[in-house]
Amino acid sequence: MATGTLVTLILGGLTAMPPLSMDMYLPALPEVTNALHTPAATIQLTLTACLMGMALGQLVVGPMSDKWGRRRPLLIGLLVYILATAICALAPTAELLIAFRLLQGLAGAAAIVIARAVVRDLYDGVEMARFFSTLMLISGVAPIVAPLIGGQVLRLTDWRGIFVVLTVVGVALTLLVWRRLPETLAPADRHDGGTAEALRTMRGLLADRVFTGYMVAGGFAFAALFAYISASPFVIQEIYGASPQTFSLLFGVNSVGLIIVGQINGKLLVGRVSLDKALGFGLAVITLAATALLLMTSGVFGDIGLAPIAVGLFVLMSAMGLAMPNTNALALMRTRHAAGSASALLGTSSFLIGAIASPLVGIAGERTAVPMAVVQLVCALAAVGCFVGLCRPWQQNQNAPVPGPRAAAAPVPEQGTTPLPEQRKTDR
């Protein structure tokens, strides 16, 4: 076993940072709007800023981790995250809150991109897909717990207390990484080049049609998810009159669905059903759920209550358990020579597309859920289009490694089932 239980939990904690940073804050969005005397569309920019920071930060941190190893950039990013989150708790204006949410996202990007690169260092093939599903189980607890914690924190204090809790979480995770996470990228496998080589590596990755197809399909699927994350506090609480605690409960139930489907993917489907088939089915279900939500929110079925909307959102969220781990695994299976850069591109595309989708869900105001459903359906259709048009899963040899500076020396097996030998030594 290449990774111990504690290391697996640390990687899960790192991948949980985005949902923690986003979801714990969601029940407080209406309160922040009132406290800072700012329109809801402006407060939604605090989500967009954090998401944009996470997108851009990955482009920097990914190549840095290929050059310097995984630990150093990760620890620096976590320290800056702690500082930015603490300042968010003191922000007196919406503008300052937006600015430091951007910095929080830039620093938090280190956790996302390096956790994914570490998995690529340690695993390959279907074993990597299984491990991503395991991480989904661990990190999937965050969307369940985070809004519940946020809702309870709001009972004791105001929205600023949520950022205090996030600061404490950042400190705890930093200490665990410093003490317990080993370096997984051997010095011999690091890239000595600077920015120019990093750009050449990324250009080579983007030139691979199949890698780009999985990357963009995953980005649009994530955007459909983030449209839900950004709009649901207003849709469920303002339009349908639910309390922050009810919203947190519904959000948690949806996250349970994502976890269950993710585990079905990792434990039952991987190795028995091709990753492409599982991914295609997940994208189809997301599209159907988004279509149903659009029909319901636009009044085709008359005046409906919260229950049908909640069911539609549950189905859409659950299907993400097939889409997200498989797009990551299928894309990373094509590259071993620059896992950090590949991970950065995967994360950046998802967060950039999500950041664009976020403000669109509130474009018609706080009293209609139609924009949320429209954005989700458009993103789902775009993901299906990329999967079919670029990945072309019916073609042969689609999991061949992408040419790169180390690809010739270290080819990627298509269906590896064991951790890489050199990484077993590194992790000991």
Q: Residue 122 is part of a domain; what is its CATH number? A: 1.20.1250.20
- Both tokens of 234, joined, read 């207003």
> Residue 293: which domain range?
195-395
**148 and 14, same structural domain?**
yes
79 and 34 within one domain: yes
Considering the domain boundaries, does residue 415 fall inside one?
no
Of the three residues 153, 184, 215, the one that is the final residue of a domain is 184
Could you tell me if 362 and 263 lie in one domain? Answer: yes
The answer to the question of residue 405 being in a domain is: no
Q: Is 425 exposed, middle or buried (0-12, 13-18, 19+ CB in 10 A)?
A: exposed
Q: The tokens 């946020």 sit on which residue?
A: 150
Same domain, 214 and 116: no
pLDDT at 219: 92
The verdict on pTM exceeding 0.75 is no
Q: Are residues 174 and 297 in the same domain?
A: no
Cα separation of 239 and 418, whole Å? Answer: 50
Domain identity same for 201 and 180:
no
Identify whether residues 387 and 239 lie together within a single domain.
yes
Strands (E), 50-171: none
Same domain, yes or no, for 229 and 161?
A: no
Same domain assignment for residues 324 and 178 = no
Asked, for residue 213, whether it belongs to a domain, the answer is: yes
**219 part of a folded domain:** yes
145 plus 268 within the same structural domain: no
- Pick from 334, 346, 342: which is nearest to 411 by CA? 334
Question: Does residue 126 lie in a domain region?
Answer: yes
Digitized pLDDT (tens) for each residue of the chain, 428 residues in all: 345 778 888 898 898 887 788 778 878 888 898 888 888 778 888 888 887 888 888 888 888 888 888 999 999 999 999 999 999 999 999 999 999 999 999 999 999 889 988 988 888 777 887 887 777 667 666 766 777 788 888 888 888 999 999 999 999 999 999 998 889 888 888 876 666 777 788 888 899 999 999 999 999 998 998 888 778 887 888 888 888 778 878 888 888 898 899 889 888 888 888 899 999 999 999 999 999 999 998 888 877 888 899 999 999 999 998 998 899 889 988 876 677 788 888 888 887 888 787 778 777 556 678 888 999 999 999 999 999 999 988 874 544 555 444 443 333 333 333 333 344 444 43
Separation of alpha carbons 428 and 423, rounded Å: 9
Same domain, 5 and 114: yes
**Number of domains making up the chain:** 2
Residue 400 in any domain: the answer is no
Question: Residues 254, 344: one domain?
Answer: yes
Report yes or no on 108 lying in a domain.
yes
